Each structure stands twice: as C-alpha cells, then as structure tokens.
C-alpha cells in the first residue's frame, strides 16, 4: 500500500497548489510556472507598468542569485568587506587596563604587533594558494573521473566558499591593520589598537580550524558515493519544490499557416519558465502561443523561441511593431536563457549527471561496474519520485479560461531512457549491471501508475533482449532471464499489492 499512499499524497499536493489560483485555471502549479514571487490571484492578468517592473526584477533577481551561487569570488568579496569594517570598528574601541576585557588585549609592543600582522598575512597567502590548488585538483578529478557537468556542484559548495572566505578575510584584516598599527601621521608610535590586533589572532585560529575542516570536507566531497548522493538530493529537492506536472492527454498544436515567430534574444540553454508576463501580453492581444524548446534545451539567437497566432484563425501574419516589441519583451521576461543548464526546473539535468557517472564507469578506460551499479541505485530513487507525477506538455489559460500558452515537456519514457538507456546499452553484457537495472525496474513497479508501468515494462523487455543477444555464457544469461521474467509477471499485479498467499 506504499504506492497508494504516495500517489494520494502527490495528488493532494497538486490539488492544494491548484487551489491557490482558482481563477487562472492552470493545468500546472502556479508557483512552478510563475516562480515563488507569483501572485496569489492571477485572474487579472493585465499588468500595470509597476507590476511588470516587479516581474522583471524578480526574473533578474533569480538569474543573479543563480549566478552568485556558483561564483567562487562572491562570498570571499563580502568577507573582505566585512573584515575591513570589523577592523575599523575594533580599532575605535579603547579598553582601560582595569576593564574585565583587558585580558583580551594584545600585550606586545607596536613592533611585535606589526610583525604579527605581517606573519599572519604571509601565512594566509600560502594557505590560500594551498586551498585553491586543492580545489583545482578536486575540479579536475570531478571532470575527468565523474562528469564535467559536476564542476558546477563543486563551485556551489558552501563549505568551500566559507573556507576560502575565512582565509581571504584574515588576510585582508591583517594587511589593512598595517596601515595604522605602530604608525601615526607617518611617525612610529607605541600606541596602537590592541583589541584589533587580538582580533587578528582570533581570525588566525579560526582559519586554522577551517583549514582542517576544509581538508576533511574535500576528502569526503570527492568520493563518488558523496558526489552521487549530492546529485540525488539536489534532484529530489528540485522535484519536490519546482517540478511542473504535465498532462499526457494534451497534444502540442502545430503553428497554423501565418503564425509569427518570436526569436530567441540570445543563444544558450533554457533554464526556467516564469510565464506570467507572457500570458498577460497574450491575453491583452487575444493571441495563442506555443513554446518551441523544452527546459534544458539549447537555443540559438534568432531561432524561433515561440510561435504566436490569433485564436483559430490562419495565424496573424506579420505583427504590428508595437505588438512585436511587447511580446518579445514579455517573452524575454518569462524565459531565462543561460550559458549552462541548471537544476532550478530541469530534472533531466540531474538525471544526466548520474547517467554520465554510470556511463563513464562502464567505459573500457575505467571499467568500474560497481560504480555504475551505485549510480543506477540513485537513479532509481529519482525515477521513483518521478513515477508519482504526471509528465507531458502543459497548457496555461488566462483568467477567462482561454488557453494562451502551450509548453512542451519531457514524458516519462524519455526520462526512463535518459536515466537507464545508456547504462543498458553500455552494460547489457555485464551481469552485475543487468541485475542492478532489473532491481530498479522491480522497485518502480510499486510506485508507477499504469501508463508508467507500461514504460518500465517495455524497458525490461528491451533489456532482456539485449541480455539474450550479448551475454554468451548460459550460466550468466539464464538467471538474468529468469529474474527478468519474474519482474515482467509482477507488472500484471496491481500496484501496492502482492500475489503472495
């Protein structure tokens, strides 16, 4: 009964989300298409200039946030600014000898303080070079051993950014202190901010702790088990938060003759759809549109990003200049294009990373079937979560219930082939890999609905055909075929039940 409870939960969540915007009559969750900044009531889609500005700001803010999350310089830059501000603040604090906090003051002379700051700064330069070197090694290992698409995960790793920030902040704090410690108006002086120098010592000890932590974290983060766990967790989190369910019954319409093309403003990958602005522009001009690419697909600047036509008429011909400008602006606000794929709405990207690890492990140069088995296990967890949801194209209506936009999406068969297809083609002659694939398919029987079970069944049949063709030894082949036959028979048992007496 596990499957029934999970399906009920998924349906309940979908109903709850759909209920947040009853007047829009969306066939998909509002927050997934419109983003977390979407309105509670979308019945009035005629956006004022102020509201459109807010929507543009939201889209740009999401893009900036996504960029800064993987920018290795962003957090250290903030740390440098904070360190300098902290140093200036502590330099203004004067403690009397009788103060209970006087024990915290540095007790050396001004020359001792300057020498200390110089030693800390030089030490931090060496440590920063070490940290950057180890980071580059980790990136190179991830690229060559696992997948080049995993580099982004390492750059977004918060512990790595925090460690580098601590070292850079300590260096900046100590170096900035050399401007004032022991010097006043160009002359040597014995008076200096002792509490600020004590702060440099504190940052030194913090940096040493962070260095040990960094080595520990890095040694674990480059282990293949941890890498795959992180990818699985990020993908499942994306499915839970921003996956947009589709409708397999919807058929994407072909643009009628005379439909107008809205070109892509630049080349790159489709990272996210937040279509509020585009729906509003279409509704104001009584137009219907179809998105051309799916999330995660690459587009070329000038190629059609969307087709627009007038209801059921024979297209719109050439758009008026003001209409074309408005629609292009609204489309640019609704579709985020970047130079790389992200996991914001692209579940296939997370699957691709794990499939890459499995495929590379099965290559003749590495020949590591067990790593491929582990990747298949993680892919099974993702497919189980996806099997509880509907897949396919999506249609979005305006406040009057008129369909304004058709959005293409991947179906469950595509996702299954993306996750397990390459592993089957590269590892069908290895019994251990075949057993891992059959085990995942057996688990999916308990989660998938009838249409999804048919997809998994077809995959098992194809896998058994490959086993019959590629595994020469009967001692290896026959147990695999027997296990596959047992799994095929389980597809005839209703999900959540067992045929055991």
Among 378, 447, 436, 442, which residue's Cα sits nearest to residue 412? Answer: 447
- The Cα 376–Cα 5 span in angstroms is 25
* Residues 171, 128 contacting (CB under 8 angstroms): yes
* Residues 280, 256 contacting (CB under 8 angstroms): no
Q: What is the pLDDT of residue 418?
A: 96
Among 303, 250, 254, 305, which residue's Cα sits nearest to residue 275? Answer: 305
Higher pLDDT, 28 or 403: 403
Residue 499 has pLDDT above 70, yes or no: no
Q: What is the pLDDT of residue 493?
A: 65
Question: In angstroms, how far is CA 32 from the centroid of its own chain?
Answer: 14
> Across-strand partners of 307?
261, 290
Among 124, 132, 114, 122, which residue's Cα sits nearest to residue 208? Answer: 124
CB atoms inside a 10 Å sphere around CB 363 = 11
CATH architecture of 2-68+244-338: Alpha-Beta Complex (3.90)
The reply to whether the predicted model has a pTM over 0.75 is yes
Predicted confidence band at 473 (pLDDT cuts at 50, 70, 90)? very high
Percent of the chain residues past pLDDT 70, beyond the cut: 83
Predicted confidence band at 41 (pLDDT cuts at 50, 70, 90)? very low
Average pLDDT over residues 43-71: 57
Q: Helices 347-361 & 412-427, crossing angle to 10 degrees?
A: 10
Using DSSP's 3-state secondary structure scheme, residue 455 falls into helix
Question: In angstroms, how far is CA 330 from the centroid of its own chain?
Answer: 25
Q: What is the pLDDT of residue 156?
A: 84
Q: What is the pLDDT of residue 146?
A: 82
- The Cα 128–Cα 20 span in angstroms is 49
pLDDT digits (tens, 9 = 90+) for 487-498: 999 887 665 555
Among 299, 298, 316, 294, which residue's Cα sits nearest to residue 307? Answer: 316
Joined tokens for residue 328: 């292009």
Residue 27 has pLDDT above 80, yes or no: no
Average pLDDT over residues 29-37: 43
Which residue is listed with tokens 């997934």? 32
* Residues 231, 374 contacting (CB under 8 angstroms): no
100-104, 105-109, 380-384: least confidently modelled range: 100-104
| Strand ranges inside 230-346, DSSP E | 260-263, 268-273, 288-291, 298-299, 304-309, 335-338
pLDDT digits (tens, 9 = 90+) for 224-272: 899 999 999 999 999 999 898 999 889 999 988 889 999 999 999 999 9
Joined tokens for residue 374: 């582990």
The radius of gyration computed from the CA coordinates of the chain, to the nearest angstrom, equals 29
* Residues 113, 106 contacting (CB under 8 angstroms): yes
User: What's the angle, vertex CA 72, arms to CA 70 and CA 74, rounded to 5?
Assistant: 90
Element at 394 (helix H, strand E): strand 394-397
CB atoms inside a 10 Å sphere around CB 292 = 19
Q: What is the pLDDT of residue 91?
A: 85
Q: What is the pLDDT of residue 164?
A: 92
pLDDT digits (tens, 9 = 90+) for 302-329: 999 999 998 655 555 567 778 889 999 9
Burial status of residue 1 (CB atoms within 10 A of its CB: 0-12, 13-18, 19 or more): exposed
The DSSP line for 169-224 is HHHHHHHHHTTTTTEETTEE-S---HHHHHHHHHHHHHHHHHHHHHHHHHHHHTSH
136-150, 189-203, 233-247: least confidently modelled range: 136-150
Q: What is the pLDDT of residue 166?
A: 95
Q: Helices 450-470 & 431-444, crossing angle to 10 degrees?
A: 170
Among 291, 131, 141, 122, which residue's Cα sits nearest to residue 212? Answer: 131
Phi and psi at 270, nearest 5°, equal -75, 115
Higher pLDDT, 476 or 187: 476
Q: What is the pLDDT of residue 330?
A: 93
Question: In angstroms, how far is CA 407 from the centroid of its own chain?
Answer: 20
User: What's the angle, vertex CA 374, arms to CA 462 and CA 228, rounded to 5?
Assistant: 120
Higher pLDDT, 57 or 119: 119
- The Cα 364–Cα 375 span in angstroms is 17
- The Cα 211–Cα 194 span in angstroms is 26
- The Cα 290–Cα 275 span in angstroms is 12
């Amino acid at each position: 009964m596990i499957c029934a409870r999970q399906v009920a939960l998924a349906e309940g969540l979908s109903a709850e989300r759909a209920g947040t915007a009853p007047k829009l009559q969306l066939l998909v969750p509002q927050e997934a298409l419109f983003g977390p900044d979407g309105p509670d009531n979308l019945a009035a889609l005629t956006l004022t200039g102020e509201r459109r500005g807010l929507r543009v700001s939201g889209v740009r803010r999401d893009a900036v946030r996504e960029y800064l999350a993987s920018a290795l310089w962003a957090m250290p830059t903030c740390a440098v600014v904070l360190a300098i501000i902290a140093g200036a603040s502590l330099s203004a604090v004067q403690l009397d000898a009788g103060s209970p906090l006087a024990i915290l003051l540095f007790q050396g002379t001004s020359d001792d303080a300057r020498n200390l700051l110089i030693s800390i700064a030089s030490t931090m330069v060496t440590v920063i070079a070490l940290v950057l070197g180890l980071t580059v090694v980790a990136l190179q290992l991830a690229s060559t051993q696992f997948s080049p698409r995993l580099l982004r995960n390492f750059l977004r790793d918060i512990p790595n950014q925090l460690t580098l920030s601590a070292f850079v902040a300590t260096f900046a704090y100590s170096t900035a202190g050399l401007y004032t410690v022991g010097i006043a108006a160009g002359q040597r002086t014995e008076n200096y901010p002792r509490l600020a120098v004590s702060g440099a010592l504190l940052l030194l000890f913090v940096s040493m702790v962070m260095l040990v932590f960094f080595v520990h974290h890095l040694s674990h983060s480059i282990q293949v088990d941890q890498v795959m766990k992180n990818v699985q967790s990020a993908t499942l989190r994306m499915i839970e938060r921003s996956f947009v369910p589709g409708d397999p019954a919807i058929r994407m319409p072909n643009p009628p003759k005379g439909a107008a093309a809205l070109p892509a403003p630049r080349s790159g990958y489709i990272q996210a759809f937040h279509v509020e602005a585009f729906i509003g522009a279409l509704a104001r001009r009584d137009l219907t549109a179809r998105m051309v690419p799916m999330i995660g697909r690459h587009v070329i600047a000038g190629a059609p990003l969307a087709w627009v036509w007038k209801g059921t008429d024979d297209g719109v011909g050439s758009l008026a200049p003001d209409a074309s400008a408005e629609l292009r602006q609204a489309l640019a606000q609704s579709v985020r294009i970047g130079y790389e794929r992200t996991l914001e709405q692209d579940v296939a990207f997370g699957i691709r990373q794990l499939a890459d690890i499995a495929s590379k492990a099965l290559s003749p140069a590495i020949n590591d079937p067990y790593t491929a088995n582990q990747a298949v296990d993680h892919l099974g967890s993702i497919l189980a979560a996806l099997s509880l949801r509907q897949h396919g194209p999506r249609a979005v209506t305006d406040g009057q219930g008129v369909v304004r936009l058709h959005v293409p999406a991947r179906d469950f068969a595509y996702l299954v082939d993306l996750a397990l297809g390459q592993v089957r083609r590269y590892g069908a002659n290895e019994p251990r890999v075949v057993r891992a694939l059959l085990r995942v398919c057996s688990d999916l029987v308990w989660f998938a609905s009838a249409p999804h079970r048919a997809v998994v069944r077809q995959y098992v049949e194809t896998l058994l055909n490959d086993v019959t063709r590629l595994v020469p030894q009967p001692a290896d082949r026959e147990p695999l075929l027997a296990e596959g036959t047992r799994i095929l028979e389980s597809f005839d048992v209703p999900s959540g039940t067992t045929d055991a007496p």
